[in-house]
């Protein structure tokens, strides 16, 4: 008899609440080392399924019987078989992860950032990828910023909150994941906004997100206050919500800063990145709460599960904001960069409308961790 499966929502709550969990990952070692479900209090064991199916008894003797064991694989099939074999071997505390790592990669967990006039700001955490999207809701209206391709989550959330999506916005042309902003706008009859300097090759119509753009969402106000903030891309644009929250896209993260090389123009854009971080942002209200579009690890989470910090705090703690010598800054952001995201050029072209991969290909293009930061 097949074991009851654990859902990605179950695991997401354990990650956010920093609960303990024992994870048995039955993918190949290289896949596990590159990318796994991460939790501060998790225990791990990696044994490829090819070894387990030959003889499950050695593994059964090694596993604890006093705690629940979650089994993960690529798509959930091998995890189910592993759990069934371990149950026959006498372990009744083993549960497969429904949908495997593919489902984990696509899971979005909404967390409230703060209440605002007539509603709230919500952060949608893509725990398996490190992507962060946002929804601003006020008086029955909503705006979605940096939406991922899992647009049903945003549609259902807005409907549950009794809000109509009026705007979708991308802070820049993404290279590590496929944007859902344009499709979400089409399906909800909303207006899609994109920075024009990132849209020179797009094949579709859009509204220009640029300095001076002001959008109202119910009683809330999303405004771009002269915050053209290039560096990660040439068009990167930051957003201020209600004069209290700074959405930085991929320019500034909690523990790092954006990388300027995903379009192959690191040397050209490094000065833009420096100017944004060391001039433009320094002139902003330092009490603004920074809400980035990505994060690198779960230790960036606050106690309520959100990923955010005041701009003032980041200028005190973030190493990328404390390199006073421009030559050292240039070396830091152009040398020893991590590998580029999987299929990053194909993802960029998909977000331009030049390619239209099917759903399964889109999943494969996005597999793996985000790599938008310099470290």
The pLDDT value given to residue 262: 57
pLDDT tens digits, 26-73: 999 999 998 999 988 899 999 999 999 999 999 999 999 899 999 999
131 is a catalytic site residue: no
Residue 174 has pLDDT above 50, yes or no: yes
Residue 4 confidence (pLDDT): 77
Q: Mean of the pLDDT values across residues 134-146? A: 97
Given this model, what pLDDT does residue 243 score?
Answer: 93
**Residue partners of 254: CB distance under 8 A and separation at least 6:** 290, 292, 295, 300, 307, 308, 309, 314, 318
More confident residue, 268 or 317: 317
Q: How confident is the model at residue 172 (pLDDT cuts 50, 70, 90)?
A: very high
Considering the chain, what percentage of its residues have pLDDT values greater than 70?
A: 94
Does residue 364 have a pLDDT over 50? yes
What is the predicted pLDDT for the residue at 366? 87
Query: Out of 12, 16, 59, 73, which one is annotated catalytic?
Result: 73
- pTM exceeds 0.75, yes or no: yes
Cα distances from 320 to residues 91, 249, 271, 328, 374, in angstroms, run 48, 16, 14, 11, 9
User: Which of 28-37, 103-112, 220-229, 354-363 shows the lowest mean pLDDT across its residues?
Assistant: 220-229
Long-range pairs for 309-317 at CB < 8 Å and ≥24 separation? Answer: 309/254, 310/286, 311/246, 311/281, 311/284, 311/285, 311/286, 311/287, 312/286, 312/287, 314/252, 314/254, 314/290, 315/282, 315/286
pLDDT digits (tens, 9 = 90+) for 270-304: 888 999 999 999 999 999 999 999 998 888 999 99
Contact residues for 218 (Cβ-Cβ < 8 A; gap 6+): 117, 118, 119, 137, 138, 139, 140, 141
pLDDT for 211? 87
Query: Could you count the other beta carbons within 10 Å of the beta carbon of residue 166?
Result: 21
* Mean pLDDT, the chain, whole residue set: 91
Helix then strand then coil, in percent of the chain rounded to 5, is 35, 25, 45
* Amino acid 372: pLDDT: 61
pLDDT digits (tens, 9 = 90+) for 103-134: 999 999 999 999 999 999 999 999 999 999 99
pLDDT class for 1, splitting at 50, 70, 90? very low
Band of pLDDT at residue 212, cut at 50, 70 and 90:
confident
Q: Which CA distances in Å does 97 have to 28, 128, 212, 297? A: 17, 13, 47, 21
CA-nearest of 252, 216, 249, 256 to 235 is: 249
Q: pLDDT class for 374, splitting at 50, 70, 90?
A: low
Q: Which residue has the higher pLDDT, 320 or 3?
A: 320
Residue 269 has a pLDDT of 80
**Residue 301 CB neighbour total at 10 angstroms:** 20
* Cα within 13 Å of Cα(245), Cβ side: 24
**Where are any strands of DSSP class E within 294-355?**
309-310
Q: Answer yes or no: are the C-beta atoms of 286 and 312 closer than 8 Å.
A: yes
pLDDT of residue 343: 82
């Amino acid at each position: 008899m097949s074991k009851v499966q654990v859902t990605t929502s179950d695991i997401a709550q354990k990650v956010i609440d920093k609960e303990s969990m024992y994870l048995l990952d039955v993918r190949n070692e290289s896949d596990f080392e590159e990318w796994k479900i991460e939790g501060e209090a998790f225990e791990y064991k990696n044994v490829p399924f090819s070894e387990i199916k030959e003889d499950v008894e050695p593994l059964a003797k090694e596993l604890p019987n006093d705690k629940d064991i979650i089994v993960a694989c690529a798509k959930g099939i091998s995890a189910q078989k592993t759990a069934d074999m371990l149950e026959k071997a006498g372990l009744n505390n083993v549960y497969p992860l429904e949908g495997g790592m593919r489902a984990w990669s696509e899971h979005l967990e909404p967390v409230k950032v703060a209440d605002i006039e007539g509603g709230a700001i919500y952060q949608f955490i893509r725990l398996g990828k490190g992507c962060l999207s946002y929804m601003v809701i006020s008086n029955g209206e909503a705006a979605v910023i940096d939406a991922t391709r899992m647009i049903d989550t945003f549609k259902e959330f807005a409907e549950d909150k009794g809000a109509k999506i009026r705007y979708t916005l991308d802070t820049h042309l993404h290279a590590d994941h496929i944007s859902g902003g344009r499709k979400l706008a089409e399906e909800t009859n909303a207006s899609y906004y994109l920075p024009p300097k990132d849209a020179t090759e797009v094949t579709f119509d859009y509204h220009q997100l640029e300095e001076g753009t002001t959008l109202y969402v119910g009683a809330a106000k999303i405004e771009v206050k002269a915050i053209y903030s290039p560096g990660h891309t040439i068009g990167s644009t930051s957003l201020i919500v209600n004069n209290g929250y700074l959405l930085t896209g991929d320019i500034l993260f909690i523990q790092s800063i954006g990388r300027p090389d995903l379009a192959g123009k690191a040397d050209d854009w490094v000065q833009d990145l420096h100017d944004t971080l060391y001039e433009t942002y320094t002139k902003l209200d330092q009490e603004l709460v920074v809400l980035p579009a990505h994060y690198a690890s779960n230790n960036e989470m606050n106690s309520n599960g959100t990923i955010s910090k005041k701009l003032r705090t980041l200028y005190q703690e973030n190493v990328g904001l404390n390199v006073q010598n421009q030559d050292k800054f240039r070396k830091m952001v152009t040398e020893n960069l991590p590998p580029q995201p999987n299929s990053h050029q194909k993802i960029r072209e998909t977000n331009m409308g030049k390619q239209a991969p099917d759903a399964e290909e889109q999943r494969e293009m996005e597999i793996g961790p985000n790599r938008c930061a310099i470290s």
